Copies of this chain bind each other. A is one copy, B any other.
Amino acid sequence: MFVGAQVSLYPMTDAFVPVILSSLKALDPWRKLLRIETDDVSTLIVGPPETLFPALREVYISAAASGHHVVLRCTLSRGCPGEPDDPICQTAALSAPNEPLAHRQQAALEAVRKARRTGEAARAQFSLYVLGMGAHMTEINGCIEFLKASGCFDRAKNFCTRIGGDAGPVFATLEQAFCRFGPPEGHVTLDLTVSANSPSTSG
């Protein structure tokens, strides 16, 4: 299994460099559990979903706390057939093979209910892709049903879904969407945008 994300942070301010650098310090507590490599376009973060999503949440919260309009962008992937297995990605977060959709939806909802609130708002927009199988829309529609019951659902848009609320349940919802839909050994990707402090909104 290979799990990870290409991550970019876009602070809409002249001082974008210090905002990025200080926000990435939020990764420090997780550095031993993740492999992290940066270039001029994105930062690769490799590791299990149960570490990766909390780490992304803390980077987001740190950036949002700057007060600037900031966007966190991630291309997440698990199980890509083109990537080698990596022991750092060993995970207990994926469902058992053949676990019925209804059970997975229920487990996902329970995980979101338990999520710690952070006091920071997050507006997220994402697309989940289940690759390498014919009936991918069954899993996508199953995920959308979960999202509608998650307490974070905002609205469906063309090509993606918007969720919002406190960053704690929002990132827990994203983690559950990524882990519980599509086969555990399948190739699943998530195209994610999380926005903070946009002047186009009240929140």
Contacts and interface: CB of A to CB of B under 8 A. Distances in A.
A51 interface: no
A75 B131 contact: no
Nearest to A134: B132
A201 B145 CA distance: 43
A44 B75 contact: no
Interface residues of A, number: 54
Contacts of A81: 137
Given A14-B14, A160-B75, A40 B123 contact: yes
Interface in A56-71: 69, 71
A130 B41 CA distance: 24
A198 B160 contact: no
A12 interface: yes
Interface string A166-193: 0000000000000000000001010101
Interface in A127-151: 127, 129-134, 136-137, 140
A46 B39 CA distance: 32
Given A158-B46, A193-B41, A134 B133 contact: yes
A82 B160 CA distance: 11
Contacts of A136: 131-132, 187
